[in-house]
Structure 1
Amino acid sequence: MIEFVEKQLIAYGLNEKFTDVATNAVVAMMIALISICLYFIAKKVVLKIIENFIKKSKTKWDDILLKHKVFERLIHMIPAIVVHSFAPMFPSYQVIIQKIAFCYILVFFLLALDEFFNVIDDIYSHFEASKSRPIKGYLQVFKIISYIVGIIVVIGVVMDRSPLILLGSIGAASAVLLLIFQNSILGLVAGVQLSANDMIRLGDWIEMSKYGADGEVIEISLHTVKVQNWDKSITTIPSYALISESFINWKGMQESGSRRIKRAIYIDMTSIKFCDELMLDRYKKIEYLKPYLERKEKEILHYNESNSVDRSNIVNGRHLTNIGTLRVYIETYLKNHPKISKDMILMVRQLAPNEKGLPLEIYGFINDNAWVNYEAIQSDIFDHIFAIILEFDLRIFQNPTGNDLRSMVKCCQL
């Protein structure tokens, strides 16, 4: 080609002194024109054919390849491949041209490889196993390794040194590399432990107060775990923090289909007393209490008569109390509640008294773990409990309010 161009230029009467320069310029423009033409043919024709073929196919993975533009990245290599192939036509500049072309090819190959790793992650995310065994962190490690190898190869080509020699030099500088990639190494180790121990999955509800995280895991990567909080803000947590510090994973609650109630009502202890006949007669009219009271009265009567208890003083023998009767009522009420799980623990218990009174704690599980439904059901239950407290001649403890103080002042004035 060079000889043909050179003869044509001489034939047109060009000075022999400028023939070599003009020949090289014309050949370079021709090569550039061929490169551009091949690039546009590949992009406008070949790529369109590939796109049409992929759209007609029933498989999904090739659509993901198209979405991530892997083929477009590969097409960018075509001009450099053409230039690299024609480099021997310029003996004086052959080595430089080939080095530049090779580096260009390698850069776009690495970019295509980067997107290919994204394609693998995207395809894998469609499988159910991706929620429990995410691979994004591992793919990021492969990306880092591929870029490091690519950079070493480029440096080796530019410096005319074997990449193996450069790798040996890097081995000597491993301490520096460990410092540079400390977070990546920690993230990799954390990712392996999180995955192996099944500590966290995509979609899990986790709570980590130190980082202000309380929501759903939306991404697990090499360095970070992203949590979308319930207020729609996003908290980013370092991966290694999840294995070095404590966090709450509500996965068990979500899988059980139930959600726990653990809340106490504080009873004013000065309102606790034994039940008299009038109180018992009133309580027997309550459906949930009638069978219990009839059975309990017989049991207590038999005990007191068997032990010849002196009934002149209520302290002697056994007697029912209003707090105990309330506890039985609440427990029976919850057992008959359609939204309380019958397969899980349920109890109404007394906690240690304190300055706020006697805590009467309700411990059980609602068979609906949707947050809004759970809060509504729990509120309905406690609405009912608060409303019936006075029926048992009990008072709920609460600190004096402004209205209480005004009432006291009025009484004092009278």
Structure 2
Amino acid sequence: MYEIKLFLDQSKINKKGLAPLSLTSQFKGRTVKISAGISIAPAHFNVDHQSLHPKTPNVVLMRDRIQELTKQFTSALAYFDKLGMVPTNTEITNRIQQQVEPEQAAVKTKRDERIVPFFAEFKRISAKRRKPSYLRTFNQVEGHLKNFSTSLTWAMLTEKKLDEYTDFLVDNELSNATIHNHIKNLKVVAGEARKQGFVVPDAIDNYTYKGERTRPISLTKAELDALIQTKPAIGSGMWKAYVRWLFRCYTSLRISECDGLSAKNFHKEGGEWVVRYTSAKTGKENILPISTPCVDILESCGWRIPAMSRQGESDYMKELCRQAGINTPIVKVRHSGINRVEETIEKWKVVSSHTARRTFGKRFIEEGGSLFDLQIIYQHDSIKTTADYIDMTITDLLKNSKGIMNRI
């Protein structure tokens, strides 16, 4: 009876690169709308199909929210139609609120299905039969899950979601042994959740992490040059992601180290430009020389690194890499029980925040830099960590040291 459409207001994109989503309808010759209470990146909304991209963060919850709002919007319009009224947007919103208040009161009594809050319950239940030292090993798992997704529920813990979580841990430079222990502890908590009546998919029971995974991804010089040539519109969300990402490709800085950088962080020492920043690892101030291409990037953004959410930056960068033709086939490997699964996907689909840092490292070594110097720049605890991080093999090492061994 009433055609409800989705509308993404891109004129109101916020600092995180997200735009508000609304539901609209034509009612008695007038356009009426209500807010969906959702903001998403423009790249995640298909206007023609009136749908959200499957990769949209929390897409399942958002779709459920939109479906429920559509029913409430339709019901409110039917109410005003019966009264012969042409309501304002505020009147429609108030009518919907009147309808859902009794439902909200009931929802408050429902238990929290999310995984992260259950950790506190798990520790309380386990306190009598498990040692405090053992329970403390779950703190790090809880912390990484918080950073991964605070809205993740037990029902959402599918094999695909577990793959995403282990990829997230890999990108955070955790060792294979640590990731294995993370999954092991998560299984323990999942078992307790089942005892408490939560629905936990069977996927986690047979899920294992064996350290064989997609090799660390970095861009070649040709790919980096192609990415630079995409040149998105200045001021757009895609441009902000472009600036942030290229800055890290030329400096190796972590996302958190880039946030808030402005003109006061950049100056010349001995005729060379440097950046002063606070290390995310040590909390101390560091100084790092920056190259001419990096200075060009900074001049284009007024010497201030634009702010943006991590998810928004990730989404835009995948799209920019796709536009740049960065589509080299990449073999992604995962394990489920005894099954080893290989999947060949295009490179742009697996770029992440660490791809920028790794690109710097690869280019640094290719231009004659030493692995020891790179370890200092990265602030890694060992040479091995640095070599593993940029996927430097023995063959690469021999190639890099060609001629040196003969001069010893």
Q: TM-score range by the shorter chain?
A: under 0.3
Higher relative contact order, structure no. (Cα contacts within 8 Å, ≥ 6 residues apart): 2
Structure with greater helix share of residues: 1
Larger of the two Rg values belongs to structure: 1
Taking structure 1 as the reference length, what is the TM-score of the superposition? 0.23
